Amino acid sequence: MAIIKDSFFINGRWVKAQSSETFEVFTSGTGELYATIPAGTVAEANSAVEAAAAAFPAWSVMAAKDRGEFLSRVSEKLAERSDEIALCIANEVGMPLMLAKGIQAGIPTATFADNAARAADFEWEEEVGNSTLVREPVGVVACITPWNYPLHQIANKVAAALAAGCTVVLKPSEVAPINAFILAEIFEEVGLPAGVFNLVTGSGPVVGEAIVAHPKTDMISFTGSTRAGKRVMEIAADMVKRVSLELGGKSANIILDDADFATAIPDGIFKCYLNSGQTCSALTRMLVPRSRLAEAEDLAVATVAGYTPADPITGASLLGPLVSAAQKERVLGYIRKGIDEGARLIAGGLDAPEGLEQGYYVAPTIFSDVRNDMTIAQEEIFGPVLSIIPYDSEEEAIAIANDSLYGLSGGVWAGTKEKAFEVARKIRTGQVEINGGNFNIFAPFGGYKQSGIGRELGKYGFEEFLEVKAIQK
């Protein structure tokens, strides 16, 4: 039976939606109706911002350790409901349940705990000559989040903003929103003061633009497409509001000639296909020496045989479906484009995986002999599609990696960490992993170029929500 949500969380209570208009949320694995949520109006968005503005004076001056205590309790409650959250997001997004508990539920839990500790330990003042530098919360923050890692992206913004002393209005993605309602329930349960956190669901052009444009909104923290991020900047510029943007990516994974190909190629496949490729930092361009292209292809094809898609709830595969019918058609469109532009298809393609005609499945796909000027090498596909690009020299590999509108992430594999580190320094991206280095939720995450402005996670993500005041003595 479908979940039905008919209210927003505004000023510490659940407020029934004014409009009868709703959004439908579908189970990625089957295409069946999973939930319905209310479509917010401009009036409801404005009400949420007003509530956040009214709550800001008291919340911003509360002792930081007391704010941190609220966040610690939220982290504990998220841990208690981790199975429920993982199942919810596996249904909404399609990440296999065995991965969703650790990633989609576990990382947000850790992020709230980290920001709780940071609020208590942060040095809020420092002396510089005859000045005292005071760090103060920005104010009311509009948080607009995507569907691919829904609660993770919410936690990145909301936990840091609240720890900094800001108040929040959240508009989650209407494609994967139920996890946000769970978080709102937890905020209510832990007794967060009224108005400090507010939730309004709805479309970007209605609710999203309303909370960005409201004169009492001080900052916008947005994660999503580069196109939508440009629109946020356009609206915010009218009142010179602070904007933090985490946008698209087309990350290159450079495998140098002396790398361990037997380890690097499978790792690169996993980093491309995680969450069915619906990851902004996915390593979607694999750069290999032309002299070893055939070897790389053989390893990639052998690896992809272990990525047979399966139902995210009942299956045992690392690969589930895409989030929606629209996303499936988008990805298939890019696969057609790759074929039409002359890339060589060596795995997957346009045919639906056998036995998975229902739901939003796409076969894990690999193109080789890809040129970096091809559409599939330049545009973010957001699906399980890997482009293998051959290169003739290390300098050319670095140039190809940097030949992108984006600069979010990347990878380098080499015979030594020292060599990988040397090449990583030359890649213009916000993060680079070397020899399979693991994602670090305490390190700053964000991009160069059209991948965004600002950083999330850890100390640097926390400081995005602070102003600096100099008091001269």
**Residue from 280, 297, 433, 464 carrying the catalytic annotation:** 280
Distance (Å, whole) CA 334 – CA 367: 11
Secondary structure (DSSP) of 34-97: EEEEE---HHHHHHHHHHHHHHHHHHHHS-HHHHHHHHHHHHHHHHHTHHHHHHHHHHHH---H
| DSSP-assigned beta bridge partners for residue 220 | 142, 243
Distance CA 18, CA 10 (A): 13
Q: How many CB atoms lie within 10 A of CB 50?
A: 18
**Spatial separation of the C-alpha atoms in residues 250 and 410, rounded to whole Å:** 9
Cβ 381 vs Cβ 331: under 8 Å? yes
**Is 280 part of the annotated catalytic residue set?**
yes
Closest CA to 441 of 161, 86, 114: 114
Among residues 276, 285, 279, which one has the least CA distance to residue 253? 285
Neighbours of 205 (CB within 10 A): 10
- Angstrom distance (rounded) from CA 400 to CA 84: 43
For 176, residues 6+ apart whose C-beta sits below 8 A from its C-beta are 25, 89, 92, 93, 147, 148, 150, 323
Which of 44, 246, 456, 464 is catalytic? The answer is 246
State the Cα–Cα distance between residues 40 and 21, nearest whole angstrom. Answer: 8
Q: Annotated catalytic sites, by residue?
A: 246, 280
